[in-house]
Amino acid sequence: MQDIWQNYIDGAWVDGGAGRIDVSDPATGEVFCAHALASAADVDAAVTAARRVHLSGALRDMRPIARGRLVQDMGRFLLAHKDEIAAELTREQGKPLWEAEIEVEGAALYFEYYGNQASTVEGRSVPLGAGYFDFTEHEPFGVSAQIIPWNYPLEMTARSLSAALTTGNTVVIKSPEMTPITNRWFALAAEHVGLPKGTVNVLCGMGHEAGAALAGHAGVNQIVFTGSVPTGVAIATAAAQNVVPCVLELGGKSAAIVHDDADLEAFENDIRWGIYFNAGQVCSAMSRVIVHESRHDELVERAAKVAKSLSVGPGADRPEFGANMGAMVSQGQRDRASGMVQAAEAKGARIVTGGRPLNRPGAFLEPTVLDGITPDMAIARNEVFGPVLSVLPFRDDAEAIEIANSTEYGLVGGVFTSDLDRATQAARQLRAGQVFVNEWYAGGVETPFGGYGKSGYGREKGREALWNYVQTKNVAIRLKG
C-alpha cells in the first residue's frame, strides 16, 4: 500500500496545510501509512470549489434522471473495486475482511437506492382558485458538509453523499482521522463518472481543526454529522451561528426487551449480530438486553455461549463469513471499553464472560457479557461502543419499558415476543427512532433511521432522508383575466 495519502480538493490530490497523521493497523498497532491533514485554509478551498460548482448549476440543473444515473454509477464503481476497498478498510478499521466486504456492498447500495429516486423528488401544485397557479419545488441547499465517524467510514459517507448528490447538492466530506484511507474511493468514483471538479471534495483533518472549520464555514448550506453527542452539540452550535440546518446522528444505548414468550434460541442470532458485529462499534448496537426474570438465567447462559463461540483476531485472517470478530479501531477505544467493564465490576456487575483485552498486540477485547446490572449503573446508561452486552431483568411489561426508556438516548429499540399485541404496544411506548420486532437490525437502506433524545435529530436512510438535502420553494403565479 502507498505510504502517504492526500486530500481531494477541487479535483486535485493535495497535501494538507496541517501536516500529516499516522494511520495504524488496529490488528497490530503498527503505523502503515500517513494521511494529509487539512487546515482551515484547505477547508475553505474545498467549500469554495463546491460552492462554485453549485452556483454553476452543473448538477442542480441537470435532468434528475441523468443525475441519478451518475449516482448509481458511483455505486457500481465501488462494487467493481470491492476487494481492494475491503482490504484497505480492514487494515485501517480492524473489522474482519468479510465484514468489510459487507460494508462496501452496503455503501454501494445507498448509491443504487438514492440514485434510483432522483426523479421522484417532486413538488405539488397548491389550489388557489381560478386566478392563480401555484406550485412547490424542491431545490438543493447547495454545499453539504458531511462529518464522518470511524466505525463505518464507507457506509456513513455513502449514506449522506449519495442522497446529497441525488438531490443536486455539492459536497465537502471531512473523513475520520483514524480511518481516512477508504474515503478517497468516493473521490475516485466521482471522477470516474465524470462529475465536475469540485462537486465532491474529500479531506481528512482533525475534528477540532478541519471539522470545526467546516461546521462553522459561512459557505456551507447544510451539515450532516454522525458521531458523538459532545461533538454533535458543538456542530449544532456552529450551524446555529450560520443559521443552516443540520442532521445529527449521534450515539445510543439501545435495548432489546425479551419477554417470557420469546424464542431464545432464535435470539442467539440477535445477540451475535446485535452486539458483536463490528466489535460492537455500532451506534445502534443492542448494548442492553432487558429480559423477563423467568427467562433471565437461560438468556445469560445463551449469551455467554454466543460470546464464547466467536474467534477473535486480525480481520485480514478472517476472510470468511463466520463466527469471528476483529480488533476494535484503536487501543484507546479498547482501553476505554475494558475500563468501563472494570468500573462496572467494581460497582457490583458480574462478568459472565470476556471483559479482558487479548494477550497479544492489537486492539482486541474479548466478547463480553455482564450480568447483575441495575438501570442506575454507568454501564447501563453510557455508550461503551464495544463488544459488551449488559443484561438487566424485569418483572412486568411496564418495568421493561421504563428501563428501556431510562437513558438519555433513543436511537433504536427491540421487542422479542410471540404476542403481536404486546410487541405493538411496546413499539409505541419505546422512545426510539426505530423499533425492531423479533429481529435486531431488521430494515435496510429503505427504512428511515435516526434518534430521539440525545441520539440526535433528522433522519437518514429511506425516503425521509432526501428531504434533509432540499429546501422547498413555492411559486405563486397570478393569471390574467
Residue 38 — φ and ψ, nearest 5°?
-75, 145
The residue (of 26 and 227) whose beta carbon lies closer to ligand NAD is: 227
Least distance between ligand NAD and beta carbon 150 (Å) = 5
203, 172 Cβ separation under 8 angstroms: yes
Q: Which of 228, 242, 425, 438 binds ligand NAD (CB under 6 A)?
A: 228
Helix or strand holding residue 475 (H, E): strand 470-478
* CA–CA gap between residue 183 and residue 157 (Å, rounded): 8
* Residue 73 contacts ligand NAD per CB under 6 A: no
Coil, strand, or helix at residue 238? helix
Burial class (CB in 10 A: 0-12, 13-18, 19+), 477: exposed
- Contact flag: residue 9 with ligand NAD (CB under 6 A): no
Q: How far is the CB of 133 from ligand NAD (least distance, A)?
A: 41
Q: Of 101, 177, 209, 249, which residue is the catalytic one?
A: 249
Strand intervals (E) in 211-296? 222-226, 246-249, 254-258, 286-292
Which residues in the 161-190 window bind ligand NAD by CB under 6 A? 174, 176-177
CB closer to ligand NAD, 96 vs 176: 176
CB of residue 51 vs ligand NAD: minimum separation in angstroms?
19
Does residue 337 belong to the site contacting ligand NAD (CB under 6 A)? no
The CA–CA distances, whole Å, from 465 to 250, 440, 477 equal 16, 22, 30
208 sits near ligand NAD (criterion: CB under 6 A) = yes
> Cell digits for 360?
497479544
Residue 151 beta carbon to ligand NAD: minimum distance, rounded to whole angstroms: 5
CB 227 within 8 A of CB 383: no
Nearer to ligand NAD by Cβ, of 151 and 162: the residue is 151
Cβ distance to ligand NAD smaller for residue 153 or 168: 153
* Residue span binding ligand NAD (CB under 6 A) among the ranges 12-20, 226-234, 299-307, 358-366: 226-234
Nearest-approach distance from CB 205 to ligand NAD, in angstroms: 7
Q: Is residue 250 near ligand NAD by the rule CB under 6 A?
A: yes
Cβ of residue 217: shortest distance to ligand NAD, in angstroms? 11
Residues 6+ apart with CB under 8 A from 132: 476, 477, 478, 479
Active site residue 249: yes
Number of residues forming the site for ligand NAD (CB under 6 A): 27
Q: Does 410 bind ligand NAD (CB under 6 A)?
A: no
- Which residues within the stretch 345-404 sit at the binding site for ligand NAD (CB under 6 A)? 383, 385
By the rule CB under 6 A, 203 interacts with ligand NAD: no
Is residue 286 within the footprint of ligand NAD (CB under 6 A)? no
Cβ atoms 198, 49 nearer than 8 A? yes
Residues of the chain by 3-state class (helix, strand, coil), percent to 5: 40, 25, 35
Residue 48 and residue 9 in contact, taking contact as beta carbons nearer than 8 Å: no
With cell 470549489, the residue in question is: 49
226 CB-near residues (< 8 Å, 6+ apart): 147, 148, 149, 156, 160, 249, 250, 283, 460
Q: Binding of ligand NAD at residue 241 (CB under 6 A)?
A: no
Q: Is 103 in the site for ligand NAD (CB under 6 A)?
A: no
Residue among 211, 372, 410, 453 that touches ligand NAD (CB under 6 A): 211
Q: How far apart are CA 202 and CA 13, in angstroms?
A: 10
Residues near 465 by beta carbon (within 8 Å), at least 6 away in sequence: 114, 159, 163, 448, 459
User: Which position among 231, 287, 407, 468 is part of the footprint of ligand NAD (CB under 6 A)?
Assistant: 231
State how far the Cα of 332 lies from the Cα of 107, in Å rounded to an integer: 27
Q: How far is CA 323 from the centre of its chain?
A: 23
Residue 149 near ligand NAD by CB under 6 A: yes
Smallest separation, CB 25 to ligand NAD (Å): 18
- Type of residue numbered 194: G
- State in angstroms the smallest separation of the CB of 82 from ligand NAD: 22
215 binds ligand NAD (CB under 6 A): yes
Question: Which of 115, 140, 168, 227 is the binder for ligand NAD (CB under 6 A)?
Answer: 227
Q: Is 148 one of the binding residues for ligand NAD (CB under 6 A)?
A: yes
In the complex, least distance from residue 342 CB atom to ligand NAD, rounded to whole angstroms: 20
How far apart are alpha carbons 275 and 259 in whole angstroms?
19
Name which of 59 and 239 has its Cβ closer to ligand NAD.
239
The answer to the question of residue 35 lying near ligand NAD (CB under 6 A) is no
Active site (catalytic) residues = 249
Residues that bind ligand NAD (CB under 6 A): 147-151, 156, 174, 176-177, 207-208, 211-212, 215, 226-228, 231, 234-235, 249-252, 283, 383, 385
